Structure 1
């Protein structure tokens, strides 16, 4: 299809007469004016097409073809018979603004990525404060509680607080909210805002092994099954074994210490996943230290619990391992066994449901990228909106489905 007014179509400006387009250095300047038409007087309501005067208004638009775009709009002021003078209506430009609507939307869309305000400001040829002012128009209200809640903390360093808290829906992959603090009294105040009917709908509460989360779950979500994330209780055993390895290798020569350190992945990997050559290397390392050999046995014995298919078999396997670890004579594994004993109900619930904190941990990684690219945030409200804005596409997908 051929367009007669191809310049207007290319620029996306409707009812505009393009008078001149010129290129100056790294920018394109478009001189235009709106088509003249009658306007309603805001004072008396009568229609008038009498022009009082013209004013040239420079406007910034979205960049195109690798260049900055400036629109020089010759704007009319109309005069009514009642004596009122008023400017003509411009659909693509709000009153008192010096940038187009689509430039504001372009900025907001760019900020869905983990980029800084400064990088977006350089791209659109605006000041950083102008970009921030546009973004501050975006706000997100807390959402209703879903059937499953996942909670975790991340290092945000905002508002004089080291850690902030993230709430997600691990089933539908949606970020629910970002909280400024992770303390129990603050979480109590936050969840108290929701009606009891909403809290009773929550069936699963997923968290790591931090006591305030467990207390919140037992008090405010009585109908929910508390699940301790698998990653967090498995790494307790890995940490215990690593502590033993580091302790034992201090007794070795320098060359042996380096060898053990470089071969730590072989020791951590499940034994039956190793090749024959790797198994031989592990056996040689374990032969040098009876304590490390014992720790390796308990680590391997624990990892066999992961093969359990149901809660009851996992309960039996955990009971046997905890009783054995408490008498193993290795302080690190004794401490680990006590932790497992304290968190056993939540750990066993992870065998009854496939819900984990995986999505939440992935969100935390994305937040770290944002924080690194932007060199951190001092304003928590802006930081919260920025995070929720980045994950807002997931809410849109959920609405479409």
Structure 2
């Protein structure tokens, strides 16, 4: 289907230049109606470029160009508004870290920047007028973000994301499990590897069959049971109902780490020792950067 339009052409009597009658409902550069162009722009956002092109019977290159033009117009007027609870993280696109911020309280994406270099981010936040609105910053344990927060949001408190803390205990479990491989046959090594998901799962959430499987594994590998119990107690720190209770649970966990597990669980030990105030601040401001993680 196509639309054929008779269009008047004019020639300037003074300069000799040729001009055409304006068509208010037509994108003359792309030779389509404005209505169809706006439809393709929406399709380029809602679908992949290839899918949008296939659905509408146009070339993928056209979809890409329309998206570039549309996004440039849309973002030109966009001014990020910083929230009370700011979540910051990064996502790797084309092998480069992109900085992402979101409104943790209301579940909204705020902005994405092409770099997470300190100088670039300071220049970016310097251009925003409402930095004083930020009271809480949720981040992972990357020192660069904490340095940025102290410089750009001096009145805000830092809360280390719970997920990034807890997953250090999973790392400890993995190190203990792999260390057992050295004295095992190939068959036993494969069998132990297949139990990996059971070791990383939380206690109490297993099925009856999974509980039986754990009991059998622990009977054969007592070191795995000790590591599993240590991992579970580490997770239980977040079951505390107050900051004071969490402080006590943290002290007890650090004191309970056997010397044989100090190396495997070193990331957990270092996290609690180096970031303790910001980790335990979660019990005063119960926010995580989980929304930004899901967004990524």
Offset at residue 89 of structure 1 (A): 4.8
CA–CA distance in structure 1, aligned partners of residues 20 and 211 of structure 2: 82
Give the distance between the partners of 2:55 and 2:193, measured in 1 at CA. 47
2:269 and 2:238 mapped to 1: Cα distance? 16
2:9 and 2:122 map into 1 onto residues whose CA distance is 57
Instruction: Check 1:125–1:114 CA distance in 2 against 1; reply closer, same or farther (3 A cut).
Output: closer
1:155 and 2:92 equivalent?
Answer: yes
Summarize the Cα distance change of 1:129–1:193 in structure 2 as closer, same or farther, 3 Å threshold. same
Report the alpha carbon displacement of residue 298 of structure 1 after superposing the two structures with TM.
0.7
Q: How does 1:54-133 map to 2 (within 5 A)?
A: 70-76=2-8, 88-116=21-49, 118-133=50-65
Deviation at 1:342, TM superposition (A): 0.8
User: How many matched pairs?
Assistant: 288
Shift of the alpha carbon at 1:287? 2.7
Q: Select the structure of larger CA radius of gyration.
A: 1
Indicate if the aligned counterparts of 2:160 and 2:279 stay in contact, CA closer than 8 A: yes
Listed as ranges, the matches of 1:146-185 within 5 Å are 146-157=83-94, 162-185=96-119
> Are 1:225 and 2:157 an aligned pair?
yes
**Higher strand content, 1 or 2:** 1
Q: CA deviation at 1:78?
A: 8.3
Equivalent position to 1:339, from 256, 271, 276: 271
User: Structure 1's 121 and 334: CA in aligned 2 closer, same or farther, altered over 3 A?
Assistant: closer
The separation in 2 between residues aligned to 1:162 and 1:326, in whole angstroms, is 39
* Counterpart in the other structure of 2:244: 312
Q: Secondary structure at the match of 2:223?
A: helix
Q: Any idea what the Cα deviations from partners look like across 1:140-195, whole Å, max 9, x if unmatched?
A: 134121112111111101xxx62111111122222211111122222222222224
| Native 8 Å contact 1:326 1:334 kept in 2 | no
CA-CA distance at 1:249 after TM superposition: 3.0
Partner of 1:349: 281
| Aligned twin of 1:245 | 177
Range that drifts further, 181-190 or 119-128: 119-128
The DSSP-based 3-state class of the residue aligned with 1:205 is strand
* Alignment of 1:361 onto 2:279: no
Please give the alpha-carbon distance, in whole angstroms, between the structure 2 residues aligned to 1:187 and 1:318: 34
Pairwise CA distance, 1:231 = 1.0
Q: Measure, in 2, the Cα distance between the counterparts of 1:297 and 1:175.
A: 38
Whether the 8 Å CA contact 2:168–2:265 is kept in 1: the answer is no
- Cα distance in 1, alignment partners of residues 205 and 51 from structure 2: 46
- Name whichever of 178-187 and 70-79 sits farther off: 70-79
Flag the 1:305–1:328 CA change in 2: closer, same or farther, 3 A.
farther
Using the TM superposition, give the Cα deviation of residue 86 of structure 1 relative to its aligned residue in structure 2, in angstroms. 6.9
CA RMSD of aligned residues (A): 2.7
Q: Is the 8 A contact 2:149 2:156 kept in 1?
A: yes
**CA displacement at 1:303 relative to structure 2:** 2.1
1:254 and 2:186 equivalent?
Answer: yes
More helix by share: 2
Evaluate the alpha carbon distance shift between residue 123 and residue 282 of structure 1 in structure 2; reply closer, same or farther with a 3 A threshold: closer
Alignment counterpart, residue 192 of structure 1, candidates 101, 118, 126: 126
Higher relative CO (CA 8 A, sep ≥ 6), structure 1 or 2?
Answer: 2
Decide whether the 8 Å contact of 1:142 with 1:176 is kept in 2.
Answer: no
Trace 1:40-59 onto structure 2 (pairs within 5 A): none
Change in CA separation of 1:135 and 1:273 when aligned onto 2, cut-off 3 Å:
closer
Helix, strand or coil at the partner of 1:256: helix
SS in 2 for 1:278: helix
- Equivalent pair of 1:326/1:337 in contact (CA under 8 Å): no
SS at match of 2:45: coil
| C-alpha distance in structure 1 between counterparts of 2:258 and 2:152, whole Å | 34
